[in-house]
Structure 1
Amino acid sequence: MRRVSPISDRMTAEEIENRIVEWARRRPDVSALVQIGSRVQPGGQVDAWSDLDFQLFSTNPARYRDAGWLAAIAPCWSTHLERTERGVDKLSVVFAGGCEVDLVLMPSRLMKLVYWAMARPAWRGLYPATLRRAIANTRVVVRPGHRVMLGGAAWEKRLAAAANPWPEEAFSAADFEFHVRGFWRHSVWVQKKIARGELRAAARWNHVELMDHLLALLAEEARLAGRPARPEARKAEQWLDARRLRQTDIATCLDAKALARALLAEIELCEEVSCSVAQSGGFAQTDHSAVAAWLRAELDKILARP
């Protein structure tokens, strides 16, 4: 039996965790509560600043979009609901005392289907694309480590499927073209923002778009070289080689020349990594030398300003 402390305005992460579990036990619509994230990953780097991450499986997850119910667990400083890029609702909470908790709201029936299909990789070719994508997204967050806090043997068995070998979604020629073309298209946009003096917009889109495309290409380069890359730059410090680590150590600030130098470094990196991925992956490579030359000339003008 977990010991549940009285509600206070300064609760530890362990106390918050206990209260979430006990709250979930009392909810008839909650079929399972699964902890994910660094706290349950082998070798996870956990310290006093580490947050708590849970998947909350419910027959009616929409009811938890309204954050009012969290007061039954502990006093809250802040809540934020977002739709993640994996297509699920995530309720992020900062409880009094600074403890952060992410609660991913999952529909029980749909996730039972996802785990059922995940346990049968031999049938993968029969699954619709949406189901394969749901399996891939689930494996990204569950496979590195998880703990079933509520749900019993049935959910333990379901989540065990995450350990099964599963063919990774291949990086296709279309993916390659999307990221390469996206990089060059947004490089022009960023250069123009720098030239106009719209430095905040340039800095934002440099990180939002350019690095996103570059990191996708870098992850594929690492996979082709036999290194276990992860999406969204997760643990990138572990799978980027020494050279790529140096090349991605790019400083930006709200200064036109600093942003121009950053974009020049990213252009060089894109040329290198796209060529590497094309050669190793057997992808056809579109010639972007004309736009690269134009960008370099325009960025040199910015660097030559007094």
Structure 2
Amino acid sequence: MDWDKLRIFHAVADAGSLTHAGDVLHLSQSAVSRQIRALEDSLNTTLFHRHARGLILTEQGELLFDATSAMARKLDTTAARIRDSEEGVFGELKVTTATGFGSMWLVPRLAKLYELYPDLKINLILEERVLDLPMREADVAIRMKEPSQQDLIRRRLLNIRMRLYATPQYLEAAGTPQTIQDMAAHRLICQSPETPQVSSGAVLAQMLLSHNMTSTLMVNNYFGVLQAVLNHVGIGLLPDYLISDFPNMVRVLPDIQSGEVPVFLAFPEELRASRRVTAFRDFVLEEIQSIRKQQAEDEAMADAK
């Protein structure tokens, strides 16, 4: 097929109008129309239904548009890789991670990343759904389990555990539970075990709720749980990576915790040479190292006591 005609077809299908596509391509409407007719003749099919309000793709047109869209994504990726290999870190980087990790850990640290790379444009997608990296729904993913998709470069960042935390103010007012049975006299703040979350957190929440809690607060994400704990509402079930940012938080019932949850960073093989991806990966790794260092220092202090 004629690449130039495909480029014009894609612009028309995307704009839904010969005139608008011509404006984007800097071509006259008649020139665009001729190219579309020539492409339809070469394929012996009709690609658009034409009506007063614009153009609508036929079934055959939709098939061709899917193909040209994939081509456009691939070309955009290639162009970005070429720029990355020759210039500094800039442009859009689509990052996806879970709502809790993204809102509570990643977002508060992004100011440091922007100081290093002020021209970076981050599109942060916070949701529990696992996005398709090979199909470029995102460039980089940070997930609480190892990605199963093929052709991904993956790096294990750390292991986390779910633990119980409260503020000193809450414990001073309500007392500190010494056994799990004592939790019945306190308000437990957690996600519902049925809410999408890491399985270890759901199992621990279910176990705690089985002890006949008098009062509970259920929130559908860990950011809400954190806000409730910080405002002295009760004792919250939270991931341990938060403590480096909230050192005044008190761990409650230290013997109770979830199993380890691995945290992975992954990106498509084709983005291996991307400076944007490399810069983001290295930044996250440095921040993770600071967490590990803080945890080691805290454990050393605890052992000393």
Same fold (TM over 0.5): no
TM-score grouping bracket, smaller chain normalisation: under 0.3
Structure of higher CA gyration radius: 2
TM-score with structure 2 setting the length: 0.26
TM-score normalised to structure 1 length = 0.26
